[in-house]
Structure 1
Amino acid sequence: MFIVTNREVKPSASGIKQLGLKPNSEGPNELRLAEAEKDEGKWKIKILPNILTAPMRKAVGLPSDSETAYASEYVARIIFERILQQKKNLLFFVHGYNNDVEAVLDRAQRLEELYGVEVLSFSWPANGGGAAGVASYKSDKRDARASVGALDRCLGRMAELFRDLTLERNKDLEVKVDAKFKTAANSERRDALLVELQEKTCPFTVNMMAHSMGNYLYEHTLLSVSSYANLLLFDNVVLVAADVNNLDHPKWVDRIPCRKSVFVTINENDQALRLARAKIGDDQLPRLGHYRHNLEAKQAIYVDFTEAPGVGSSHAYFEGEPVVNVASAPYRFFYKTLNGQSAHDDLTFDSGIKAYRLK
């Protein structure tokens, strides 16, 4: 799998230690790409060069005499072909508080195995600066704010590459369709056929899941009107156990661009979010991911997991006990949403809290 990160890079180190605990030495907005593979229980990391080598260009079908190509194009082409061949959907995953590289890769692997998706992880230096407790939590919030520019650049580049690769793959379709419908009177039928052929050519969805403090990072990318996060890229966006203020969350949640739906999951008994609120004392406001009040974003679909089977006090109820049984309601919800499908058939609306519950 691939990982995009603004962590420091240590080429002389081995294994996952090649990606460090601090932001990139060239600045927190500097992005690097790495390929990760698990061998005999241990992760191996290959840091990709920023500018493609001749063998890398050849491997993804880029001519040697074309303009300079970068690692992002190499990764995009590999992922694009992989999800087409394996008939998978792409999940962009932004992790939360106090996650080192190994934890991020382990979780990404579980997501791939559980839900049959291809995962591209964005990893920011969320390690608490080596501290613990309140100091660690505050340090990670500072790192999240410092990483906003990096996530913004990542989303912009993803949108650009997705557009270019889709156009490249569909470049002959418009010619064929125009040849069949030569008059303006048939424009509606022409457009319908073009969409149908495009969906057959690229039959996959691109979805995003932000977990815990990863939502804090995503929130701040959306607050700028010039942000790349405002570009349309994702089908579903799933905000899981969001460690952000419930107060004023519609200001950014209603700005999330998506082709289908924005889901916000809530667990009132989420132990990690209850502790997160306590860490800062009275100044820490109720967290979006554990508070069943003031659910007022117009485009958000709030889903209450509080009484769902197996969830309990879990902070990561997309894995572990809640989804051990693939027939369980939590598993069905995450399988559908992370694969770009609608989950409405598995939900029932509770007008008392203005949120959905799992059937």
Structure 2
Amino acid sequence: MIYVFSNRNIENDNWLGDEFNAEGPENIRVAKYNADTDKKLTFYPETDPQLLPSLKVIQEVEASDKPCCIFLHGFNQSLKKNLGKCEEIESYGVNVIAFSWPSNPGPQAIWRKIREYKRAVRNAERSSLAFERFFNLFDDYVDINGRFNNIKAMVVHSLGNYLLQHFVQGSGFENQPGFLNNILLHQADVNSHRHELWADKLAINSRVMATVNETDNTLDFSDVLNPDRLGNTLGNLNSERLQYFNFGKIPQAEDEHRLWIEPTVENASAKSFFESVFKGKKVNTGHFEFDRSRNCFHIK
């Protein structure tokens, strides 16, 4: 099952657009994706103060026999694209809770991509309060019910890591994601230099991992505008709390940005890595080569 928490605008009562919620970028609506029927969203009513939409979703995923993975997407994602990635993660045998933000704020023309990217960066900054509120909803549940049984992992993809960074560095951060077993900074489109200053704050209670693929074509585009990105450089892997996993030695990962799909996961070690991460389990690093000079595990 896929659930969507979003600060996007609602379209036609059953879909989300590429703008902010009409009531402000900090406002969140909650929906279920009907993948098996009309492929639309069903929004939870906001009228019952005793059963908030967020609480209803949490109750549903906690009653499931599957673990649940939170997913924060990256740049240039319409709702349709976002849900497609959610379905990829769901195929690993997990439910998915997506935080969907307006990261597609412009036309599709390639020659305007730089302008659109810069607007998406600003949208990520403006979405950090909504993301804080999103995690406060889970934190409230933990205060009442204790640790979650099923919600144990979060995957943050590409430019979504910049949104996460902005949240962690904000005044409202109180380690709300600390109930998670695993947090994966997947092909992070953030500055590699000194990333540990904010990322380490997530690792107080959780296992925090970061993937690296030096041949990542998408992050090559980001490199045109930015310093080295965490997701595509083996330099600056300086955290003593994070674990870094280099996918660059897998031939199938050549040029790939989304490492949890084929052809990358034709490699058994890569597939096992993502199965463990998505389900909130500890990754068995005994199969990987640890490179002390780089402070990372090489997946082969």
Among 43, 53, 72, the residue aligned to 2:54: 72
Q: Which residue of 1 aligns with 2:70?
A: 92
The Cα RMSD (Å) is 1.9
Q: Is the 8 A contact 1:33 1:72 kept in 2?
A: yes
- Partners of 1:34 and 1:258 lie apart in 2 by 31
Q: Which residue of 1 aligns with 2:114?
A: 134
TM-score by length of 1: 0.78
SS of the aligned residue for 2:85 comes to helix
- Partners of 2:297 and 2:8 lie apart in 1 by 37
Partner amino acid, structure 1, of 2:201: R
Partner amino acid, structure 1, of 2:4: I
CA shift for structure 1 position 226: 3.2
Among 292, 302, 306, the residue aligned to 2:244: 302
CA shift for structure 1 position 203: 5.1
- Partners of 1:107 and 1:298 lie apart in 2 by 31
SS of the aligned residue for 2:257 comes to coil
Among 45, 48, 62, the residue aligned to 1:49: 45
Q: Write out per-residue CA displacement over residues 234-273 of structure 1, whole angstroms, 9 at most, x where no aligned residue.
A: 1011000000001220111110046441101000000100
- Partners of 1:312 and 1:128 lie apart in 2 by 29
Partner amino acid, structure 1, of 2:185: L
Q: Write out per-residue CA displacement over residues 194-217 of structure 1, whole angstroms, 9 at most, x where no aligned residue.
A: xxxxxxxx7545111000000000
Aligned pair in 2 of structure 1 residues 95, 229: CA closer, same or farther (>3 Å)? farther
CA shift for structure 1 position 136: 1.2
Among 318, 332, 340, the residue aligned to 2:272: 332
CA shift for structure 1 position 307: 1.3
Q: Which residue of 1 aligns with 2:138?
A: 158
Question: Who wins on radius of gyration, i.e. which is larger?
Answer: 1
Among 154, 158, 162, the residue aligned to 1:216: 162
Aligned pair in 2 of structure 1 residues 254, 277: CA closer, same or farther (>3 Å)? same
Larger mean CA deviation between 102-111 and 220-229 belongs to: 220-229
Q: Which residue of 2 aligns with 1:314?
A: 256
Q: Which residue of 2 aligns with 1:5?
A: 6
Among 328, 335, 345, the residue aligned to 2:286: 345
Among 33, 37, 44, the residue aligned to 2:34: 37
Larger mean CA deviation between 254-263 and 97-106 belongs to: 254-263
Among 293, 303, 308, the residue aligned to 2:235: 293
- Partners of 1:205 and 1:14 lie apart in 2 by 28
Q: Is the 8 A contact 1:311 1:322 kept in 2?
A: yes
Partner amino acid, structure 1, of 2:42: K
- Partners of 2:71 and 2:277 lie apart in 1 by 13
- Partners of 2:24 and 2:235 lie apart in 1 by 39
- Partners of 1:314 and 1:252 lie apart in 2 by 26
- Partners of 1:110 and 1:271 lie apart in 2 by 20
User: Is the helix fraction higher in 1 or 2?
Assistant: 1
* Runs of 4+ displaced beyond 2 Å: 128-132, 162-167, 202-205, 228-231, 257-260
Larger mean CA deviation between 246-255 and 257-266 belongs to: 257-266
Among 16, 20, 30, the residue aligned to 2:17: 20
CA shift for structure 1 position 97: 0.4
Q: Is the 8 A contact 2:76 2:105 kept in 1?
A: yes
Q: Write out per-residue CA displacement over residues 169-223 of structure 1, whole angstroms, 9 at most, x where no aligned residue.
A: xxxxxxxxxxxxxxxxxxxxxxxxxxxxxxxxx7545111000000000011111
Gaps of 5+ in 1: 53-66, 168-201
Q: Is the 8 A contact 2:209 2:242 kept in 1?
A: yes
Gaps of 5+ in 2: none
- Partners of 2:281 and 2:26 lie apart in 1 by 33
CA shift for structure 1 position 227: 1.4
SS of the aligned residue for 1:296 comes to coil
Larger mean CA deviation between 247-256 and 125-134 belongs to: 125-134
- Partners of 1:350 and 1:244 lie apart in 2 by 23
- Partners of 2:90 and 2:157 lie apart in 1 by 16
Q: Which residue of 2 aligns with 1:182?
A: none
